[in-house]
Amino acid sequence: MAEPVKLIGTFGSPFVHRAEVALRLKGVPYELILEDLTNKSELLLRHNPIHKSVPVLLHGDRPAICESLLIVEYIDEAFDGPPLLPIDPYDRAMARFWAQFIEQKCAKPFWMALWLNDGDKREVFVKEAKENMALLESRLHGKRFFAGDTVGYLDFAACGLALVLGVLAEVTGLSLVGEDEFPLLRRWADDYTSEETVKACLPPREQLVAHFSGKKDRIKLAVNAMACQM
């Protein structure tokens, strides 16, 4: 009998989403435990004492696995099913390279740009984010998804961008990306969020909009405080 799989997560998190979609693509049943990150459970703190963040994967009795992209790689290696990462070593290296790029060079500047009060500072981040988005856009030439014809590791890594381009743009009222800008990325965001397995573990758009609208002030406070220290 298969060992139970538990995923500790929180509503609306693209990081948690990465782990969920990976489990579903592999056909692995799991129990999703939703956390309120303003009131972290003993379970979460016990299993992720270093980062105290979600997602956390618990597979049977094994020590917890933390960090979303590491979790995705683990799921790929520990369970049978369609491969989530490319098979070829060079293609695999490229997937990891671009996932790292997204995490370090795209996600953060866009996040900052969405929530900063200071217009000038925001412009700096927007400029940086767009330069990097252009590089990502070029990776989609001739491809439906970053991973090819079907979704894979790099698409999961980029899922936060889909959130940024869609839901968060609506919540903040800020259209950081013009209608004519990044057509391939926009198309990718639509294709990704409507893909069958992805859709099954994505909350409906209205729920996400409501959720982030509710958190708006808290996020703004935290981001603007962080910006002062930079």
**Cα–Cα distance, 143 to 136 (Å, whole number):** 12
What are the backbone dihedrals phi and psi of residue 8, each rounded to the nearest 5 degrees, phi first? -90, 125
Please report, as residue ranges, which positions from 54 to 83 form the binding site for other proteins (by CB under 8 A): 59, 62-63, 65-67, 70-71, 73-74, 77-78
CB of 206 to other proteins, least distance (A): 35
Compute the residue count for the chain.
230
90 contributes a contact to other proteins by CB under 8 A = yes
Q: Which listed range, 5-13, 36-44, 94-102, 144-152, lies at the site for other proteins (CB under 8 A)?
A: 94-102
Helix runs in 140-195, H state only:
153-163, 169-172, 183-194
Q: How far is the CB of 38 from other proteins (least distance, A)?
A: 23
**What residues between 97 and 156 interact with other proteins by CB under 8 A?**
97, 100-101, 135
Nearest approach, Cβ of residue 48 and other proteins (Å): 10
Stretch that binds other proteins, among 11-19, 93-101, 154-162, 186-194 (CB under 8 A): 93-101
119-139 helix and 89-101 helix, angle to the nearest 10 degrees: 170
CA dist., res. 213 & res. 211, Å (int) = 5
Total residues at interface with other proteins (CB under 8 A): 23
Residues 11-30: x where in contact with other proteins by CB under 8 A, - otherwise, as a string: --------------------
For other proteins, the closer of residues 78 and 169 by Cβ is 78
Residue 212 beta carbon to other proteins: minimum distance, rounded to whole angstroms: 26
Does residue 89 touch other proteins according to CB under 8 A?
A: yes
Alpha-carbon distance of 96 to 81, in angstroms, equals 20
C-alpha atoms less than 13 angstroms from C-alpha of 120 in its C-beta half-sphere: 0
Spatial separation of the C-alpha atoms in residues 69 and 56, rounded to whole Å: 11
Instruction: Kindly state the DSSP code that residue 165 receives in the 8-state scheme.
Output: I
- 58 vs 167 by CB, closer to other proteins: 58
Distance in Å, CB of 22 to other proteins, minimum: 13
For 145, the 3-state DSSP assignment is: strand
DSSP string, 62-109: SPPEESHHHHHHHHHHHS-SS-SS-SSHHHHHHHHHHHHHIIIIIIHH
Q: Which is nearer to other proteins, 101 or 192 (CB)?
A: 101
Q: Which chain residues interact with other proteins by CB under 8 A?
A: 50, 59, 62-63, 65-67, 70-71, 73-74, 77-78, 89-90, 92-94, 96-97, 100-101, 135
